[in-house]
């Protein structure tokens, strides 16, 4: 993910001053520990301004409304308490070549500025700080103590000071080619390193773009660069500065990141879903919103996916150990009959016992084989027999106690394997479904419950108990949807929440329910209108999807059960997604054909 550099911030602040200044601040919402959203009302409309101090993606731009979830962060609440109702009168850089944005608020557009919200875009040191008219820090996203930084502590009540000024030269359109080249060849290093170290406002992504336009290898030593190559690079350099001076930017993807200056590459080479030659050029705000939403979503998905997968694997490892221990104990309990046989044999041959015997050899009643029975020399024969009878009863009680424990552990293993299968089949654009799995695991106690994933509840006036508060939109799951040859819909749950929803709240009496037989996977619903009858090819397509969205998707054929929703039940106390069914028919799903699509 490419960090927002000075060029991007210049373009964004320029557009923001046009689009949302002046504007009244109405709402502040913090969606995570690195991002706040400011709701701004202009004369024409409402807009949401995103401010992020994420270590890899610090930025600000207009965005879609934040997700509807509880805001439990004090930083956003303090900003709302102090600044709500004030007018945003300016969005600008504190210095033309510094990456610190100053959002200024006043009572009215023509009044004196009362509040400054500074966004410092500085990689891992990025921060957001609210400062009053006296220059005092009222609140900050990150408090920095004297122990953490002697140079520039940031704490409530301190006076706000801008970051230390940069020492590099300031780029200028008036600088001649000779002076520019002399500065870059002073130290014989790679050209990409000299560009970064000699001028302010130059980022790695900008250097990469300039070198690509000049068709120059960034690892080339400045001493080895030909004059024609210097001229091409200087032309690209001047072009960049012209874009900044004229405030004309051309956002497009380029390589691993993006650039805001005209590129030598055809637009089609950079088209990755953010651009379309047939559409008008995106504004920098829209471009950044799409780019960073996509990139941060992928990063969040990968991190959450790893967290959930690791938690499931750790829990499965513990459960497998527990299951093995229970099975070993159950195996020992099978010796109960052996203890009874020895006791019976000993009671039938009491006359063979002698004082001090540590073992006795007797002939078995049934096999007539010689059996060696260990004895306690401090007990007589009858007392030794009673000891064996007691062991027999103890082992029987142990078997009765262990059996439900084994069943419980095996059900828990089956549930976690079901969740693991759902997680493994999610793609990077399915972050919402992954978060639903995260919330489910938190509710089941496998992960720590946080405010972000805690279930929303409301009070039931009749019973006084809390219950999950689902809106009508949440009743329609964002599940996979496909179409059969005859136009019937096939719904496939992405996680256990959706599985339960489509199986028990959405399924109609005419629908068909499918699931891979005794294999963890998604619940599948073949939606049929009243009076419609599914043909074999429709059921086969649904069975193929049930097989594909299961742990056995790599197999050529997978047994799939098919029944009506009224014959699908959730046992009392069962975990999400776990069901039993009756009156089923078996079809053979073929996931191979779906993989080829």
- The string of DSSP letters for 212-278 reads HHTT--TTSBGGG--HHHHHHHHHHHHHHHHHHHHT----EEETTEEESS--SS-HHHH-SSS--TT
What is the enclosing helix (H) or strand (E) of 17?
Answer: helix 6-19
- Max mean pLDDT among 222-236, 436-450, 475-489 falls in 222-236
* Structural domain boundaries, residue 376: 335-403
> Which pLDDT does position 93 carry in this prediction?
94
Shared domain for 523 and 581, answered yes or no, is yes
d(CA 524, CA 534): 15
Residue 473 is predicted with a pLDDT of 43
Q: Is residue 399 part of a domain?
A: yes
- What one-character DSSP code corresponds to residue 174? T
Any domain includes 591: yes
Q: Are residues 82 and 185 in the same domain?
A: no
Strands laid side by side in the 127-132 sheet? 59-63, 46-52, 35-41, 23-32, 87-93, 100-106, 113-120, 127-132, 137-140
| Residue 226, pLDDT score | 92
Same domain, 10 and 135: yes
The reply to whether 47 falls in a domain is yes
Nearest of 522, 484, 518, 520 to residue 500 by alpha carbon: 522
Q: Tens of pLDDT along 142-192?
A: 998 888 887 888 999 999 999 888 888 999 999 999 999 999 999 989 999
- Among residues 399, 390, 392, the alpha carbon closest in space to that of 340 is found at 392
- Cα–Cα separations (whole angstroms), residue 491 to 152, 319, 421: 56, 32, 17
- 110 in the same domain as 14: yes
Q: Cα 572 to the chain's mean position, in Å? A: 31
Q: How many domains does the chain have?
A: 4
**Same domain flag for 125 and 75:** yes
The residue out of 403, 421, 454 marking a domain boundary is 403
CATH of the domain at 225: 1.10.8.50
- Does 385 lie in the same domain as 276? no
156 assigned to some structural domain? no
pTM, full prediction: 0.70
Can you point out the beta strands (E) in 315-358? none
Kind plus residue range of the DSSP H or E element containing 194: helix 191-198
Residue (of 303, 287, 312) closest to 34 by Cα position: 303
Domain end position, chosen among 249, 264, 282: 282
386 pLDDT more than 80 = yes
Domain termination site, one of 140, 165, 200: 140
User: How far, in Å, CA of 130 to CA of 569, rounded?
Assistant: 55
The percentage of the chain sitting over the pLDDT mark of 90, rounded to a whole number, equals 54
Does any domain span residue 38?
yes
Residues 540 and 489 in one domain: yes
* Tokens 């339960």 -> residue: 500
- Both 133 and 183 in a single domain? no
Contact 552, 519 (CB under 8 A): yes
Q: Residue 359, SS3?
A: strand
Residues in the chain: 597
Q: Are residues 10 and 132 in the same domain?
A: yes
């Amino acid at each position: 993910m490419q960090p927002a550099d000075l060029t991007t911030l210049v373009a964004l602040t320029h557009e923001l001053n046009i689009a949302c200044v002046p504007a009244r601040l109405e709402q502040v919402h913090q969606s995570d520990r690195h991002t706040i959203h400011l709701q701004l009302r202009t004369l024409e409309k409402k807009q949401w301004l995103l401010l992020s101090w994420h270590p890899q993606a610090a930025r600000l731009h207009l965005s879609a409304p934040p997700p509807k979830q509880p805001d439990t962060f004090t930083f956003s609440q303090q900003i709302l308490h102090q600044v709500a109702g004030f007018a945003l009168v300016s969005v600008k850089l504190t210095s033309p070549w510094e990456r610190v944005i100053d959002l200024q608020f006043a009572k009215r557009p023509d009044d004196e500025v009362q509040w400054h919200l500074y966004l410092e875009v500085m990689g891992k040191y990025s921060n957001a700080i609210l400062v009053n008219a006296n220059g005092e820090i009222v609140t900050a996203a990150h408090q920095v103590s004297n122990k953490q930084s002697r140079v520039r502590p940031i704490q409530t009540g301190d006076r706000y000071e801008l970051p230390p000024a940069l020492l590099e030269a300031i780029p200028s359109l008036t600088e001649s080619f000779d002076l520019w080249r002399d500065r870059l060849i002073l130290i014989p290093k790679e050209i990409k390193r000299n560009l970064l170290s000699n001028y302010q406002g130059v980022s790695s992504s900008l250097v990469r773009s300039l070198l690509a336009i000049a068709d120059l290898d960034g690892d080339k030593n400045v001493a080895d660069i030909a004059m024609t190559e210097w001229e091409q690079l200087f032309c690209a350099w001047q072009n960049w500065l012209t874009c900044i001076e004229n405030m004309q930017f051309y956002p497009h993807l380029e390589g691993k990141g993006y650039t805001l200056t005209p590129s030598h590459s055809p637009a089609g080479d950079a088209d990755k879903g953010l651009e379309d030659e047939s559409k008008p050029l995106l504004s920098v705000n829209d471009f950044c919103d799409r780019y960073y939403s996509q990139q941060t979503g992928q990063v969040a998905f990968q991190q959450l996916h790893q967290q959930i997968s690791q938690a499931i694997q750790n829990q499965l490892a513990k459960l497998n150990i527990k299951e093995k221990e229970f099975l070993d104990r159950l195996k020992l309990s099978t010796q109960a009959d052996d203890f009874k046989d020895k006791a019976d044999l000993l009671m039938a041959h009491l006359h063979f016992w002698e004082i001090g015997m540590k073992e006795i050899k007797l002939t078995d009643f049934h096999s007539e084989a010689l059996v060696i029975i260990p004895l306690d020399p401090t007990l007589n024969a009858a007392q030794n027999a009673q000891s064996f009878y007691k062991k027999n009863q103890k082992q029987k009680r142990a078997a009765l106690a262990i059996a439900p424990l084994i069943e419980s552990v095996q059900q828990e293993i089956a549930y976690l394997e079901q969740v693991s299968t759902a997680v493994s089949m999610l793609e990077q654009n399915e972050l919402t479904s992954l978060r639903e799995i995260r919330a489910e695991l938190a509710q089941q106690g496998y992960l720590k419950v946080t405010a972000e994933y805690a279930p929303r509840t409301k009070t039931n006036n009749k019973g006084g108990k809390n219950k999950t508060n689902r809106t009508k939109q949440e009743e329609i799951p964002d599940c996979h949807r496909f179409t059969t040859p005859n136009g019937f819909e096939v719904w496939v749950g992405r996680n256990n929440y959706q599985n339960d929803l489509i199986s028990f709240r959405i399924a109609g009496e005419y629908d068909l329910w499918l699931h891979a037989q005794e294999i963890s996977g998604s619940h599948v619903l073949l939606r049929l209108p009243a009076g419609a009858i599914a043909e074999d090819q429709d059921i086969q397509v649904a069975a193929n999807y049930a097989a594909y969205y299961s742990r056995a998707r790599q197999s050529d054929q997978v047994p799939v059960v098919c029944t009506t929703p009224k014959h699908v039940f959730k046992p009392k106390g069962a975990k999400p997604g776990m069901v039993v069914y009756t009156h089923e028919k078996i079809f053979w799903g073929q996931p191979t054909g779906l993989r080829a699509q």
